[in-house]
Structure 1
Amino acid sequence: MKIRPFGVEEWMNTYENDAVANIAETCVDSLTVEALLDLSGRKEPLLEQIRSLRLSYGDIPGSDRLRDLVAGLYARQSRDNVLIMNGGAAANFLSLYTLVEAGDEVVSVWPTYQQLTSIPESFGATVKLLPLEPEGAFLPDVERLKALVSEKTRLICINNPNNPTGALMEGPLLEAVVDVARSVGAWIHCDEVYRGLVHEPGLDIPSVADLYEKGISTGSLSKTYSLAGLRLGWIVGPADFIARCFSRRDYTTISCGRIDDLLGSVALEAREALLERNLSIVRRSAAVLREWVDGEARLDWVPPKAGTTAFIRYDYDLPSETFCRRLFEGDGTFIVPGSAFDRDRWFRIGYAFDPVMLRQGLDRISAFLRRLEASGL
């Protein structure tokens, strides 16, 4: 099996650990174990529970406690609709592995998280891309989607909120995509790892798993909940589909860690306080980023409406990989080139951390842009 190199992850792996100013990170400012336990309000009893926890395989599909909590994030799901995985990436992989076979036709939005296109392609599927364009606010054009699907279409892949653009598909648009999928009998796989990080207060976005009888949603504790180190994610979908995933999961995962399961349960039980913290960070930092972009005459964007990433276009005569590498080599400032998403003259930035640190990183980019201008670019 051949698979295309994972552009974003290879770039991150190469540069991330040596960065002086990392504004490529897409998780909301990560929590310490102590901070999580403090949020729970039950620190000492939980520490005792962890100390006495037997490190067996535990509950193979995930504990009932955790699966009930995950199901509670959705409107129409129970624990039988939930399978716990070791991260959102593993959840995406297992869902696609269960659904896609050689010869299938898959339609996916692009740009998106590369798993959604490269994994089906590696299985021998024909992948058709639905371009997301800035002129359309990086949202899928339903008429173009209708033209792409056929009776052969097995699967439509989307992610909401979108990575890298921060675009947000609201209920009516999601329902229109569901109508297209239903018209040809296709499944929908929606990567929802940034779900809950909506910038506009009070805006509630439905999950694909709740909207469609053949809808699959994946999520994790990494982005929205600041707990990437727990390596916990999930698949939510019809019970018979979850059973098929479970039978394949035996070959790769067996179970997730018992400490991860326990701390993941603690996090979701403290969800309200955790989201309050994280939405405050995201909304304040998004305002800082907007002010900065507005002040740079040779930058352009569609402001993100959700999530932790923004996709920014620049007007300098440099390929995006060269642009980002020269920025990094100059003073250790780290962003992701648009070439990782097959979009040159763009870069992706992450902004979900302390606004003061974000401003320092943005000031470094501004200084780099002034150097480019001084050199005649």
Structure 2
Amino acid sequence: MIVEQFGVEDWMDRYEEGARYNITDTCARPLTLNELFSLTGEDKKDFMESFFQREQTYGPIWGDKALKQEIAGLYEHIRPEQILTEHGATGGNQHIFFSLIRPGDRVIAFAPSYQQFYSAPRSLGAQVTVLHLKKERGYLPDLEELRSAAKAGVRMICLNNPNNPTGSLIPRDMMEEIVHIAEEAGAYLFCDEVYAGAAQTKKDRCPSVADLYEKGIATGSMSKSFSLAGLRLGWLATRSEKALAQFRRVRDYDLVSCGLFDEAVAALALRHKEKLLERNRAIVRHNLPLLEEWVEKEKHASFVKPKAGTMALVYYDFDMPSALFCHRMYYETGAFTVPGDCFEEPFSFRVGYGHDPETLVKGLEAVSAFFHILEKE
């Protein structure tokens, strides 16, 4: 197995810890546990007393029943037994690939998107076709291009909706067409939906692929839209019994079960899912206009306004590779962003706007300061 360098994660590993203005993180502003209990109105003392009485053995192998009941509430047609908890959505994604992708299988993925969707299948010996999402199309898939690619036969189509790093959102009618393409090919349709729920307006939502298609497989997590990345708790959901049987078989080799504490806190949080989502929608709806105003005023910057999620891809007009651009900007002004090269989209960088507005404003001012430095060179 040859594993490619994971561009965005490697970049975050090297630069995030010492960043002065981190304006590229894609989680909605993380909650402390004190904030979680305050927001939900749950009794922290009762929770801890109860949890401290539990034996620290393995948890339920396929996930805590109470937690899976709450996760099922995020879907229209998914039952708790059609859900498996995972070590974050990244772990769930990898579990899907290791379970279903075989050497020689054809896989279709998209870029810019999360690199795992094409690099992980490629490492397993799959033949991966990467279709490019174009700025002028609002980063939405070209259905004719997808249909043509799928005609040669395909094992799995991989999506990210809402999209990281662009914040684009595939609408329901387009997703139904994608489902039809997958169905005609007999393919699995896998969609990472970790940013679902963090939309700009009420109409900006799309049903889960797990609800729309029997062979649809969705992943989610407590990290992005629910602000609890420290739990390292995600899940996968599908109505395909064949896929679920394979997931359970492979799971025994590398996961066994998730942490008791992680699942207990996640279950508590998801009992109040609407409160968490309401909080985080308010954050992104307040902060996106700050980013939009900066882009409109900054002559060197442009972007396609996001529909959902917590991030945007911002372009600049200097003739400088984005990795060098972001490296220099980090050390010369303190602004920390991820280069577009990590998403196969040159002359751009990812901005996350889900954190506190003060850091966002100061970080964007630092980006402008770097633009001024480049103007003088």
Matches within 5 A, 1:157-236: 157-236=158-237
Where does residue 285 of structure 2 map in the other structure? 283
What is the DSSP-based 3-state SS (H/G/I as helix, E as strand, rest coil) of the residue aligned with 1:246? helix
CA contact (8 A) 1:235 1:242 kept: no
How far has the Cα of 1:318 moved from its partner?
Answer: 1.0
Alignment correspondent of 1:316: 318
The answer for unaligned runs of 5 or more in structure 1 is none
Deviation at 1:2, TM superposition (A): 0.1
Read off the aligned partner of 1:146 and give its amino acid letter.
R
Quote the residue 2:19 is aligned against: 19
How far the C-alpha of 1:235 sits from its partner, in A, is 0.5
1:27 positional shift: 0.4
Structure 2: stretches of 5+ with no match in the other structure: none
Q: Could you tell me the percent identity over the aligned residues? A: 43
Amino acid at match of 1:11: W
The 3-state SS of whatever aligns with 1:127 is strand
Q: Is the partner of 2:289 in helix, strand or coil?
A: helix
Give me the whole-angstrom Cα distance separating, in 2, the residues matched to 1:323 and 1:26: 20
Alignment of 1:92 with 2:93, yes or no, is: yes
Q: CA contact under 8 A between 1:36 and 1:267: conserved in structure 2? A: yes
| Alignment correspondent of 1:359 | 361
User: CA offset at residue 203 of structure 1?
Assistant: 3.5
2:295 corresponds to 1:299 = no
1:149: which partner in 2? Answer: 150
Aligned residue number for residue 34 of structure 1: 34
User: CA offsets, 1:10-36, max 9 Å, x none?
Assistant: 000000001011111110000111111
Other-structure match for 2:4: 4
Q: Helix, strand or coil: the match of 1:18?
A: coil
User: Distance in 1 between the 2:54 and 2:35 partners?
Assistant: 20
Describe the SS at the equivalent of 1:190. strand
Q: Which amino acid aligns with 2:30?
A: S
Q: Which moved more, 1:6-15 or 1:242-251?
A: 242-251
3-state DSSP of counterpart to 1:347:
strand
Question: Using the alignment, how far apart are the partners of 1:359 and 1:241 within structure 2?
Answer: 45
Q: Deviations over 1:92-149 (max 9, x none)?
A: 0001111110010001111111111011101111000111000110000101111111
In the alignment, is the contact (CA less than 8 A) between 1:157 and 1:189 conserved in 2? yes
Q: Corresponding residue for 2:268?
A: 266
Corresponding letter in the other structure for 1:94: H
Contact 2:313 2:351 survives alignment (8 Å): yes
1:249 aligns with 2:259: no
Per the alignment, in what secondary structure is the counterpart of residue 348 of structure 1? Answer: strand
- Structure 2 residue corresponding to 1:329, chosen from 331, 335, 341: 331
Q: Hey, what's the Cα distance between the residues in 1 that align with 2:106 and 2:202?
A: 38
Q: Tell me by how many angstroms 1:202 deviates.
A: 4.2
Alpha-carbon separation, structure 2, partners of 1:203 and 1:13: 32
Residues 300-332 of structure 1, C-alpha deviation per residue, up to 9 Å, x if partnerless? 111111001100111012110110000011132
Residue 125 in structure 1 maps to residue 129 in structure 2: no
Runs of 4+ in 1 over 3 A off after TM superposition: none
The 2-side partners of 1:87 and 1:351 are apart by: 21
* Contact 1:104 1:152 (C-alpha < 8 Å) held by counterparts: no
Letter in 2 for 1:162: N
Question: 1:4-83 maps to which residues of 2 (within 5 A)?
Answer: 4-43=4-43, 44-83=45-84
* Residue number in structure 2 paired with 1:339: 341
> Matched residues in 2 for 1:287 and 1:195: separation?
20
- How far 1:49 sits from its partner (Å)? 1.9
Q: Is the 8 A contact 1:21 1:332 kept in 2?
A: yes
**3-state SS in 2 of match to 1:17:** coil
Q: Give the distance between the partners of 1:49 and 1:358, measured in 2 at CA.
A: 40
Correspondence for 1:109:
110
Deviation at 1:207, TM superposition (A): 0.3
User: Distance in 2 between the 1:58 and 1:270 partners?
Assistant: 22
Amino acid at match of 1:251: Y
CA deviations 1:41-60 (Å, max 9, x no partner) are: 12232122233232111211
TM value normalised by structure 2: 0.97
CA distance in 1, matches of 2:38, 2:326: 38
Structure 2 CA distance, aligned partners of 1:257 and 1:305? 34
Is the CA contact 1:151–1:185 (under 8 Å) kept in the aligned structure 2?
A: no
Mapped contact 2:169–2:204 kept (Cα < 8 A)? no
Structure 2 distance, partners of 1:161, 1:203, is 10
Aligned length: 375
Question: Are the aligned partners of 2:169 and 2:205 in contact in 1 as well (CA < 8 Å)?
Answer: no
Offset at residue 151 of structure 1 (A): 4.7
Q: Judge conservation of contact 2:100–2:246 (CA < 8 Å) in 1.
A: no
In 2, Cα distance between equivalents of 1:333 and 1:196: 28
8 Å CA contact 1:232, 1:264 repeated in 2: yes
CA distance in 1, matches of 2:163, 2:234: 18
Q: Residues of 1 paired with 2:311 and 2:78: CA distance?
A: 28
